[in-house]
Amino acid sequence: MGMPRSDEVWLVLPSANEANCARSLPRWRAQGYRIAVLQDRVRFEVEADVVLHRDEYRGWAWGVNTLCREAVPESCRVVVAAGDDMLPDPDRSAQQLGAEYLNRFEDGFGVMQPTGDRFLHSQTYCGSPWFGRGWIERAFAGRGPIPTGYTHNWADMELHWVARGLGRLWLRPDVTQHHEHFSRSDEKEAPAYWNATAGRSDVADARTFSERAWAGFPGCEPLAPEDSDRERYDHAVFLEGYTSMAEIHLHRLTGRTPFDACRRMREAIGLCRAHYWANYGLYGNGAHTDGVWSVVTEFGPPSVVLDDRAEPGATRDGVPVVRPEQLEPGTLDTIILSANSIEEDLLERAGALGVPVIRLYGARSPRIVQPDASARSLVA
């Protein structure tokens, strides 16, 4: 392997997919990354500097932590963790991005997540994070850079919130690590390897995240640095910014009630009543609305459901479903946004409709956003 250099950046990833590695790893190599791969039951030739073998697979987080502990040289100051279906930013070398990371986190204690590829709402979790030696050695009480206890999904979301609550998260929309997820292809059906790992554990992982999140992510506090006080995790950041993603996901998979989302919707409808807004619209017709619909109908259904892709004549339990541009002027007193991962996008669109908008997230309780008088109305 040769003498390690201080500006090396290592890519670490567990993989059991030879085809994915053959496609992605040469791209990382061309951008100047050193590569460490962990293989479990499957063995194949791979273009990597270090390959670890294990007879079992305990999950992505476990694999990343194992590689950081056993494969990455201690002289390495910056590491990026990814999946075998992710690609590096094509416009910046490993050394350039590593230098930018260290310029932001000189002590190596921080998480940098590229979000230029916004597929699957990448700005809401750390699915291909960068971290430094300080994070590797100190995060999660010294247990490793990624929280354990998850098989595949949701560890990256806990990482996002813990780093954010520590004030050590850097989201980079100017950096793109393209995710070649199977659902991006014409064949949307999940492949067998995904079903055998991530798919099989998805419900359990989502439940783990939800339980840990509402308990304050116990054990997430970092080790104290030498000659300094330990950074304190602020869970209020989570409580103010979380959008019930795990709970909505669990509702879709199991029917489990998304309690926080339902609480927020009840409070939003309460705001309508307090302002005597009898005619309200619900903007969003996806998984989030599925999860809170029982609350909506409990207090009286909306006058209309707004959906950017509504088909002519569509209804939801008898409520008309229309596109925003089809809304008649003066129809509504207010609009409640019913979406979690895309609430910011809906807020911008709803603001042009000329009525107060109630957003559920971004704070501990729903709040009213007044329309922008300068915004171009979508209604004639």
Task: Assign residue 288 the CATH number of its domain.
Answer: 3.40.50.20
The answer to whether residues 155 and 62 belong to one domain is: yes
In this structure, the number of other CB atoms found within 10 A of the CB of residue 180 comes to 16
Phi, psi of 210 (to 5 degrees): -60, -45
> Count of H helices and E strands in the chain?
12, 14
Instruction: Give 132: exposed, middle or buried? Use CB within 10 Å, 0-12, 13-18, 19+.
Output: buried
Phi, psi of 306 (to 5 degrees): -95, 135
The continuous run of DSSP H or E covering 115 comes out as none
CATH of the domain at 141: 3.90.550
Q: How many domains does the chain have?
A: 2
Q: Are 105 and 134 in contact (CB under 8 A)?
A: yes
- Which pLDDT score, from 0 to 100, does residue 142 have? 94
The vertex-112 CA angle with 81 and 3, nearest 5°, equals 55
The answer to whether residues 76 and 13 belong to one domain is: yes
Within a domain: 52: yes
Q: Which residue, of 201, 216, 242, is where some domain finishes?
A: 242
- Which pLDDT score, from 0 to 100, does residue 225 have? 81
What is the DSSP track for 189-254? Answer: SPPHHHIIIIIHHHHHHHHHHHHHHHTT-TT-PPPPPTTSPPP---THHHHHH---HHHHHHHHHH
Residue with tokens 């609305």: 289
CA distances from 378 to 50, 102, 320, 329, 353 (A): 56, 45, 18, 9, 6
- Which pLDDT score, from 0 to 100, does residue 3 have? 37
pLDDT digits (tens), the chain, 380 positions:
443 456 899 999 998 888 889 999 999 999 999 999 999 878 888 889 999 999 888 889 999 999 999 999 999 999 999 988 899 999 999 999 999 999 999 999 999 999 998 776 778 889 999 999 999 999 999 999 999 889 888 999 999 999 999 999 999 999 999 887 666 566 556 666 655 566 567 899 999 999 999 999 999 999 988 767 778 999 999 999 998 999 999 998 888 888 899 999 999 999 999 999 999 999 999 999 999 998 898 888 899 999 999 999 999 999 999 999 998 888 899 999 999 888 888 998 888 888 999 999 988 899 999 886 434 333 32
Domain of 123, in residue numbers? 9-242
Cα–Cα distance measured from residue 371 to residue 135, given in angstroms and rounded to the nearest whole number = 43
The answer to whether residues 274 and 341 belong to one domain is: yes
Within a domain: 377: no
- Which pLDDT score, from 0 to 100, does residue 284 have? 94
The answer to whether residues 238 and 267 belong to one domain is: no
Which pair of tokens denotes residue 161?
């919130």
The answer to whether residues 225 and 151 belong to one domain is: yes
- Which pLDDT score, from 0 to 100, does residue 298 have? 84
Q: Which residue, of 216, 242, 268, is where some domain finishes?
A: 242
The answer to whether residues 187 and 214 belong to one domain is: yes
Cα–Cα distance measured from residue 81 to residue 88, given in angstroms and rounded to the nearest whole number = 11
Within a domain: 248: no
The continuous run of DSSP H or E covering 279 comes out as none
Rounded to the nearest angstrom, the gap between the alpha carbon of residue 59 and the centroid of all alpha carbons in its chain is 18
The answer to whether residues 205 and 295 belong to one domain is: no
Within a domain: 378: no
The answer to whether residues 265 and 232 belong to one domain is: no
The answer to whether residues 233 and 275 belong to one domain is: no
Within a domain: 180: yes
Within a domain: 112: yes
The answer to whether residues 151 and 68 belong to one domain is: yes
Within a domain: 42: yes
- Which pLDDT score, from 0 to 100, does residue 375 have? 42
- Which pLDDT score, from 0 to 100, does residue 227 have? 66
Within a domain: 286: yes
- Of the candidates 234, 227, 223, which has an alpha carbon nearest to the alpha carbon of residue 136? 223
Angle between helices 200-214 and 155-165 (to 10 degrees): 20
The answer to whether residues 291 and 145 belong to one domain is: no
The answer to whether residues 151 and 15 belong to one domain is: yes
Cα–Cα distance measured from residue 330 to residue 332, given in angstroms and rounded to the nearest whole number = 6
- Which pLDDT score, from 0 to 100, does residue 122 have? 72
Q: Which residue, of 213, 242, 271, is where some domain finishes?
A: 242
